[in-house]
Amino acid sequence: MSRLSLSSIDQWDRWLLFASLALALISALVMASAASSVNPRLAIRHWTWMGIGIMICWGLANTDYRRWLDLSILVYGVSLIVLAIVPVAGAMRLGATRWLSLFGLSLQPSEFAKLSTIWMLARYLSGQPRPLSGQVIGISLLLAGLPALMVFSQPDLGSASIFGAIWLGMIWVAGASRRTLLSVAATGTVLLPIGWHLLKGYQRDRLLAFIDPHADPLGTGFSIIQSTIAIGSGQWWGRGWFAGTQNQLRFLPERHSDFIFSVIGEEWGFLGSVAVIMVFALLVMRILRIAQRMTDPQASLVAAGVGAWLGYQTFVNIGMVMGVLPVVGVPLPFMSYGGSSMVTVWIALGLLHAMVRSASAER
């Protein structure tokens, strides 16, 4: 029997496995309530995609991860091609063209592009000497910036910013000097005014609504206001499963997708929300621990990229539904409705488990 067989459970990162399965269970329960007032079939689809993702994760965990990382250039190239097709053949929803229809399924290529970019950056940065030179920083920025610009043009500001978080996390682990990181931060700050003028009108309105949502309570500020009401009404213990008034009475917009954490806050209360955040924190910490323990530089960078991606996306989503960050439209990993997001997250976890099991088998 292979040394990477399922019977050798001791080769798995048990805390990572526990955190991911706990989030899957929480996701199933929350989606049942969130979708009940939208379309109960959405919960069934959500559970189906989650089941598919878990099976893919389980299968990937029992393979040699190096085989998949060797395909990084191909996968990255295909992702760019698909992103280029989206503006031409994609479907427009909510004022943005982000989805492709394939065999009756709606796919969001930007989700898969996040993982393919991590693979590509890991392949490139793993062979570079420390500290990273300016040329290496520039090339790595181009590798991450190209898909980010394509996603930004859809337009999707939130997802585009995730590529920036991935890039920063990976160059830091790869050996970028503190001076380089400070220079990047200063340059980004200087370019902010230019970025403001590149935003669509509704994106600027969302950012302004963050400052004063009550300036347009029935328009751009509606989502933030209703979300904070929902979370605040949960108090300590929550109103109970299927008992959230903002959720069930349909005051809360996008409650099955971007604002699903508001449902958690309303129905599970402060203590339930903190418990969910702690599980997310455990997940990210275990991923970063894997990045630290891997002796293979490429595997270490992949783990760092996945940790930066999931950590940043979780932070932004929870921050925006609580009203402490602008609404930029990013889903909450594991929780928000969307097959592309769900399957991509589980693919990433499957690769991480494969790395851990491979490292354990080689010891």
> CB-based contacts of 306: which residues, under 8 Å, 6+ apart?
115, 118, 287, 348, 351, 352
246-269: per-residue pLDDT in tens? 888 788 888 888 899 999 999 999
Asked if pLDDT for residue 7 goes beyond 50, the answer is no
106-163: per-residue pLDDT in tens? 889 999 999 999 999 999 999 899 899 989 999 999 999 999 999 998 888 889 999 9
Read off the pLDDT of each residue in 332-349 and give the average, rounded to a whole number: 95
30-39: per-residue pLDDT in tens? 999 999 888 8
Of the candidates 115, 114, 112, 137, which has an alpha carbon nearest to the alpha carbon of residue 124? Answer: 137
State the Cα–Cα distance between residues 60 and 62, nearest whole angstrom. Answer: 5
Other C-beta atoms closer than 10 Å to the C-beta of 18 total: 15
Span of 172-176, 192-196, 275-279 with lowest mean pLDDT:
192-196
201-235: per-residue pLDDT in tens? 667 777 777 777 877 777 777 888 888 888 988 89
Please provide the size of the chain in residues. 363
pLDDT of residue 1: 34
Read off the pLDDT of each residue in 346-357 and give the average, rounded to a whole number: 94
pLDDT of residue 358: 83
pLDDT of residue 172: 94
pLDDT of residue 150: 93
pLDDT of residue 25: 96
Share of the chain above pLDDT 90, in %: 58
pLDDT of residue 121: 97
One-character DSSP codes across 272-323: HHHHHHHHHHHHHHHHHHHHHH-SSHHHHHHHHHHHHHHHHHHHHHHHHHTT
Read off the pLDDT of each residue in 355-361 and give the average, rounded to a whole number: 81
pLDDT of residue 3: 44
Q: Does the predicted model carry a pTM greater than 0.85? A: yes
Of the candidates 221, 204, 90, which has an alpha carbon nearest to the alpha carbon of residue 151? Answer: 90
pLDDT of residue 5: 44
C-alpha distances in Å from residue 274, one per residue of 161, 171, 270, 279, 361: 25, 31, 6, 9, 36
Q: What is the mean pLDDT of the chain?
A: 88
One-character DSSP codes across 18-87: HHHHHHHHHHHHHHHHHHHTT-HHHHHHHHHHHHHHHHHHHHHHTS-HHHHHTTHHHHHHHHHHHHHHHH
pLDDT of residue 94: 62
